[in-house]
C-alpha cells in the first residue's frame, strides 16, 4: 500500500461543490486526511483519493447526492467500514465517496417473523448486541466488524456460512438508490417470492456498481438453546478435510468449522496467546438443543478420531468459545504480525469440497518454496480458503512474488471447477480472473451494467472495465 | 380454459421453417393437436397456439433454434412439463415453443460434493429415483412432477422449502442460451462465490424471458437417517399457525409443514380416501438422526397440545408417509374434484408469518360469502398459502367471481408487506400486482429485459409488457 506523495486538490466542478455544501454542510469533507482514509484499503492496494467524502443520514440525502453527481458526470463510491480486501472501495477515477456510517439506525425488529430492517451503516456487532434481548441473532460473520450494507454489496459470508448461508441467503429485501436517482425497494418482507426478477440477489455482490444500498431487511435466527465449541489438531490435512466432509454427509449441521494450517496456528498462538499444537487444526461450533448438541459432538469426535485427529477439546463455556473465535477473527492480524512492519495481501478461492484437500496441499507446496511467509485458513465446510501473504511494503519484489503465487492458486481453483473468489469479491484484484472463470457471461454482466448505469458512474472500474 | 374454436395455420416465415426442418427433422411439429397441448395451461388461461413446437436434444440445438428465430423476429417460448399455473408458458404472441422434455439426461452426480448436473428436461421424481442409491436427494417439491428447468425458471419451492429453501437456494450454476445466441454458464461448481453479478439468481424466476436454461447444477442433501411424519387437527386456525411459529422459534428444523383448511380436508378425504377430521390440519415431516427426530416430535407435539391441537398422529412407517404426501400432492385435483366437470383456478400469496393467521382468516371470511367452492392450503412455515377456486368452465361469471376474490386477497397480502406470489410466478396472471408490489423496481426489471432481449422475443408478454 503506497501513500499518495503529494497533496491532491479536489477536482469537483464548482457548481456540484455548492450543491453538496447545500445538502451536507459540515458533513461534506474535502480535507486530505479524510480523503486519504477513504482512498485506502485494508490490504495492498494503492491509495487513490476521492475528490470529496459525504456522510448522508437518510436515503433522501443519498438520492440528492446521486442526482447531483450524475448530472455533473462525477463518480460515486459507496463506503461502509472500509474492511473489504480487493480494493472494492478504491475511488479509481476520483469522485465522491458516500460514507454510510452515519446511517446506522436499526429501524425495525420483527421478533415473531425473525427479521430486522437496518440502515446500511449498521455494523454486525452492533446489530447482534441489539438483538440479544429478543433471543435472535444475525449469523453472517466475515470476521471484520463490517457494515451490513458493505456485507451485502460484497456478498460476504464467513465462519457461519456452512450452516446459515451467505448474505445471498440472509437478505430478504433491499432499499436501493439507482443511477437514475430512483429510490426502490427490491422485495417485500415475505420469506419467499416468485414476483419478477430477483433484484435483491442482483444487488448483492454488485459492489455498488448498480446502485447504492441504503436499507436492508435481514432474516434472523433464534439464539440456540445450547452452543458448544471444539478444537482438534490433525497430523494430515486430508484427515481434517475428510472429518468435515464425512460429518456433513452424516447430516451433522456444523454451525462453524474453520481450518487453520500449521503456519496460521503458529501465528495465532503468538498473537492471541494460545497454546495449541502448531499443526493443521479445526475450530468447530455446534448449535441446537442440549441433547442434540451433545449428539453432534459425539458424532464428530468419533469421525475425527477415525481420521487421525488428536484430542477433541470441546467446551460449553462461553468464555472458552469467545477466546477461540476472537483468535479466529484476529487471524489476519496474527498472520501479518509474523513479520514486523509487514502488510498483508489476502486472497481467497473456493472449490468443490471433494477437491479442497488437494487444492490446499498443492498450494502449500508452492508456499513452501516462497521467500515470503504465508498462512492458510478457511471455511472448510464451504470449500473456501484464504491465503495471507505477509509482505514488506518496501520490497516491491515481495508483492510481485505474492502476485505470482496467487495466480497459480487461482488458476488451480478454476481448473477444479472452483471460483476465483469465495467471499472477497472481484473489486480491483480479480478482474482478469472473472473473465477466465465465466467467459461470455461477463458480457451479460456488462450489458446489465450499461443498461442501469449508462454513464458508468457507480463505483466505476470495479468488477470489470466497460 | 377455452379451447381455440378454429384451426390456426402456422404463421412462421418459410425461410425459418426450412431452417427448423433442417435442424429438427421429425422433431419439428406443426400439427394442431401438439400445438394446442403446448398452448394450454393447467389452470384457467385461454389456449393460444404456438406456430411450431420443436424438441431439441442438446444445448447446441437450442442455440440453433434461438439464432434462427431471433434473426427472423419470431418469439421463442421454453416449455418443460407444462405444470406452471400462471400462464407462464402460454405463447401469447405465437412463435416457436421449445419443448425441453427430450433433454432429460442426468449428466453428472458428484456424490462427495452432494451436487448433480442435469439437463433442463429432467423431472424431479426421475432425479430422486436416480439419486436414491447414492444416499442423496433433491428436496424441492412443488407437488407436480415438474422439470428442473421449469422449476428454476419459476423459482419453484413447495413443501420442503421451510427446511431446504427454494430453487433460489438449490441451484449452484446454470447453462443458459441467451437472446444473442450465446451459450453461457452462470457460475462454477463451488458452493459459494463472490465473483461478479449473480446471474444464476437473475435467471431463476425470470420465466424464460432473459434466456433459456438448458442445464442446471443442483445442491443435494443426504437422505436423513430417520424420517417421521405426523398429522394433527386443530379447532382454530390460530392454534395451527401458532404451533408452527413456536416450533420454528424453538429451533425445530421442520422438514415439511403444510396447512389444509376444513374445505381442503373434505376434498382430500374424498379424493385420496382418507378419514381425517374435516378441520384445519397440519401435515408434518421431521428429518434427522433417530434420536433427534424423536426429540423434534416430542417438542412439536407438546406445542400442538398447548395450542388446542387434537391427537398428534406420528408415524415412522414409509407407507404411511407416502400416503400422506400423495394426498398433499393430489390436493389440487381433490379440490377441483369437489364439483363435477369443474376446472381449477389456483393462486398464491406469501406474507410475513406473523400476519399469516389473520390473512388466512380474513380470506376464509371472503370465501364463505362466495358462490363457488374454494379450498385453502399452504406452506405455513414460509407464510405462503394457496387458494383453489373450483369453477364451472361454462359459467364466465364464476371466473369473474374468482378474479374478484383473488384481487381482495392479493391486496390484503400486499397491505401486510407480503408478495402477490410466493411460488407460482407472475406469468400472465399477476402482472398488475407486480407493479403494485414493487413500483419503480419494475422499471429496473424492464431495463434489464430490454438490454438482454432488445427485440423482446424471449417468452414475450410474461412478467410485464414492455
Task: Give how far Cα B25 sits from Cα of B11, B33, B53, B466, Å.
Answer: 18, 18, 12, 34
- Smallest CA–CA distance, residue B5 to chain A, in Å, is 33
Please state, in angstroms and rounded to a whole number, the distance separating the CA atoms of residues A192 and A195.
9
Q: What is the mean pLDDT of residues B16-28?
A: 98
Q: Which residue of A has its CA nearest to B444?
A: A452
CB-based contact B195 A434, cutoff 8 Å? yes
Please state, in angstroms and rounded to a whole number, the distance separating the CA atoms of residues B214 and B174.
8
Q: Which chain B residues contact residue A199 at CB under 8 A?
A: 441, 444-445
Alpha helices in B330-392 (DSSP H): 331-336, 356-368
pLDDT at B7: 61
pLDDT at B2: 47
SS3 B318: helix
Q: Which DSSP category does B254 fall into?
A: -
A195, A204, A383: residue with CB nearest B437: A195
pLDDT at A7: 61
C-alpha cell at A76: 460515486
Please state, in angstroms and rounded to a whole number, the distance separating the CA atoms of residues B323 and B273.
10
Q: Determine how many CB atoms are found less than 10 A away from the CB of residue B281.
A: 24
Q: Which chain A residues contact residue B155 at CB under 8 A?
A: 193-194, 198
Q: Which chain B residues contact residue A196 at CB under 8 A?
A: 205, 426, 434, 438, 441-442, 445, 463-464
Q: Which DSSP category does B329 fall into?
A: H
CB-based contact B113 A353, cutoff 8 Å? yes
Phi, psi angles (nearest 5°) of residue A106: -90, 110
Q: Which chain A residues contact residue B165 at CB under 8 A?
A: 169
pLDDT at A2: 47
CB-based contact A202 B205, cutoff 8 Å? no
CB-based contact B452 A443, cutoff 8 Å? no
**pLDDT tens digits for B442-465?**
999 999 999 999 999 999 999 999
Q: Which residue of B has its CA nearest to A425?
A: B194
Q: Which chain A residues contact residue B434 at CB under 8 A?
A: 195-196
Q: Which residue of A has its CA nearest to B446?
A: A197
Q: Report the mean per-residue pLDDT for chain B.
A: 95
Please state, in angstroms and rounded to a whole number, the distance separating the CA atoms of residues A34 and A186.
33
Domains (ranges, CATH) in chain B? 14-101 (3.30.43.10), 103-222 (3.30.465.10), 226-332 (3.30.70.2190), 339-438 (3.30.70.2740)
Q: Which DSSP category does B143 fall into?
A: S
Q: Buried (b) or exposed (e) across A149-182, using 16+ Cβ within 10 A?
A: bbbbbbbbbbbbbbbbbbbbbbbbbbbbbbbbbb
pLDDT at A178: 98
A3-8 — which CB contacts under 8 Å span 24+ positions? A3/A36, A3/A47, A4/A36, A4/A39, A4/A47, A4/A48, A4/A49, A7/A32, A8/A32, A8/A35, A8/A49
Q: Which DSSP category does B428 fall into?
A: T
Place of cell 450452516: A163
Please state, in angstroms and rounded to a whole number, the distance separating the CA atoms of residues B393 and B345.
10
CB-based contact A422 B193, cutoff 8 Å? yes
- A72 and A16 in contact (C-beta within 8 Å)? yes
Q: Which residue of A has its CA nearest to B180?
A: A444
B245, B418, B464: residue with CB nearest A188: B418
pLDDT at A428: 96
pLDDT at residue B333 greater than cutoff 90: yes
B190, B201, B442: residue with CB nearest A196: B442
Residues near B268 by Cβ (< 8 Å), separated by ≥ 6?
B260, B274, B276, B327, B328, B330, B331, B334
pLDDT at residue B203 greater than cutoff 70: yes
Q: Which DSSP category does B102 fall into?
A: G
Q: Determine how many CB atoms are found less than 10 A away from the CB of residue B92.
A: 19
Confidence of residue B5 (pLDDT cuts 50, 70, 90): very low
CB-based contact A289 B251, cutoff 8 Å? yes
**Angle at alpha carbon of residue B401, lines to B399 and B405, rounded to 5°:** 115
Question: Mean pLDDT for each 10-residue chunk of chain A (466 residues)?
Answer: 56 95 97 95 89 98 98 98 95 96 98 97 98 96 96 96 96 98 98 98 98 98 96 96 93 96 97 95 96 96 97 95 94 95 95 96 96 96 96 95 97 98 97 98 98 98 94
CB-based contact A197 B463, cutoff 8 Å? yes
CB-based contact A437 B190, cutoff 8 Å? no
**pLDDT tens digits for B146-179?**
999 999 999 999 999 999 999 999 999 999 999 9
C-alpha cell at A83: 474492511
Q: Which chain B residues contact residue A421 at CB under 8 A?
A: 193-195
Residue A286 CA to chain centroid, in angstroms? Answer: 23
Q: Which chain A residues contact residue B426 at CB under 8 A?
A: 194-196
Give the largest Cα separation in chain A, rounded: 70
pLDDT at residue B270 greater than cutoff 80: yes
Q: Which chain B residues contact residue A351 at CB under 8 A?
A: 190
B201, B291, B450: residue with CB nearest A198: B201
Amino acid at each position: 500500500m503506497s501513500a499518495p506523495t503529494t497533496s491532491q486538490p479536489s477536482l469537483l466542478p464548482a457548481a456540484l461543490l455548492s450543491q453538496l455544501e447545500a445538502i451536507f454542510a459540515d458533513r461534506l469533507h474535502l480535507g486530505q486526511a479524510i480523503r486519504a482514509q477513504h482512498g485506502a484499503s485494508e490490504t495492498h492496494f494503492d491509495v487513490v483519493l476521492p475528490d470529496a467524502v459525504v456522510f448522508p443520514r437518510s436515503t433522501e440525502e443519498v438520492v440528492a447526492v446521486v442526482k447531483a453527481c450524475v448530472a455533473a458526470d462525477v463518480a460515486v463510491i459507496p463506503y461502509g467500514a472500509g474492511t473489504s480486501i480487493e480494493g472494492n472501495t478504491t475511488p479509481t477515477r476520483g469522485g465522491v465517496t458516500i460514507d454510510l456510517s452515519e446511517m446506522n439506525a436499526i429501524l425495525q425488529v420483527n421478533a415473531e417473523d425473525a427479521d430486522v430492517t437496518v440502515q446500511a451503516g449498521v455494523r454486525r456487532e452492533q446489530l447482534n448486541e441489539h438483538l440479544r434481548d429478543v433471543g435472535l441473532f444475525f449469523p453472517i460473520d466475515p470476521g471484520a466488524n463490517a457494515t451490513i450494507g458493505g456485507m451485502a454489496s460484497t456478498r460476504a459470508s464467513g465462519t457461519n456460512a456452512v450452516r446459515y448461508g451467505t448474505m445471498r441467503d440472509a437478505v430478504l429485501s433491499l432499499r436501493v438508490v439507482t443511477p437514475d436517482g430512483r429510490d426502490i425497494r427490491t422485495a417485500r418482507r415475505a420469506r419467499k417470492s416468485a414476483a419478477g426478477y430477483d433484484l435483491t440477489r442482483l444487488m448483492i455482490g454488485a459492489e455498488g456498481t448498480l446502485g447504492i444500498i441504503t436499507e436492508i431487511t435481514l432474516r434472523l435466527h433464534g439464539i440456540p438453546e445450547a452452543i458448544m465449541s471444539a478444537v482438534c489438531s490433525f497430523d494430515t490435512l486430508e484427515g481434517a478435510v475428510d472429518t468435515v466432509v464425512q460429518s456433513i454427509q452424516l447430516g451433522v449441521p456444523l454451525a462453524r468449522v474453520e481450518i487453520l494450517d500449521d503456519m496460521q496456528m503458529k501465528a495465532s498462538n503468538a498473537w492471541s496467546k494460545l497454546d495449541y499444537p502448531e499443526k493443521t487444526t479445526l475450530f468447530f461450533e455446534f448449535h441446537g438443543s442440549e441433547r442434540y448438541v451433545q449428539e453432534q459432538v459425539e458424532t464428530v469426535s468419533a469421525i475425527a478420531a477415525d481420521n487421525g485427529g488428536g484430542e477433541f477439546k470441546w467446551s460449553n463455556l462461553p468464555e472458552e468459545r469467545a477466546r477461540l473465535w476472537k483468535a479466529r477473527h484476529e487471524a489476519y492480524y496474527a498472520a501479518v504480525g509474523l513479520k514486523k512492519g509487514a502488510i498483508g495481501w489476502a486472497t481467497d478461492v473456493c472449490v468443490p469440497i471433494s477437491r479442497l484437500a488437494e487444492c490446499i496441499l498443492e498450494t502449500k507446496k508452492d508456499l513452501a518454496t516462497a521467500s515470503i511467509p504465508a498462512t492458510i485458513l478457511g471455511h472448510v465446510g464451504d470449500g473456501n480458503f484464504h491465503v495471507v501473504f505477509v509482505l514488506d511494503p518496501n520490497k516491491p519484489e515481495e508483492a510481485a512474488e505474492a502476485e505470482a503465487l496467487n495466480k497459480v492458486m487461482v488458476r488451480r481453483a478454476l481448473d477444479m471447477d472452483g471460483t476465483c473468489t469465495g467471499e472477497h469479491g472481484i473489486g480491483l484484484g480479480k478482474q482478469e480472473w472473472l473473465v477466465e472463470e465465466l467467459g461470455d457471461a461477463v458480457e451479460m454482466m456488462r450489458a446489465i451494467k450499461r443498461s442501469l448505469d449508462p454513464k458508468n458512474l457507480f463505483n466505476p472500474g470495479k468488477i470489470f472495465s466497460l
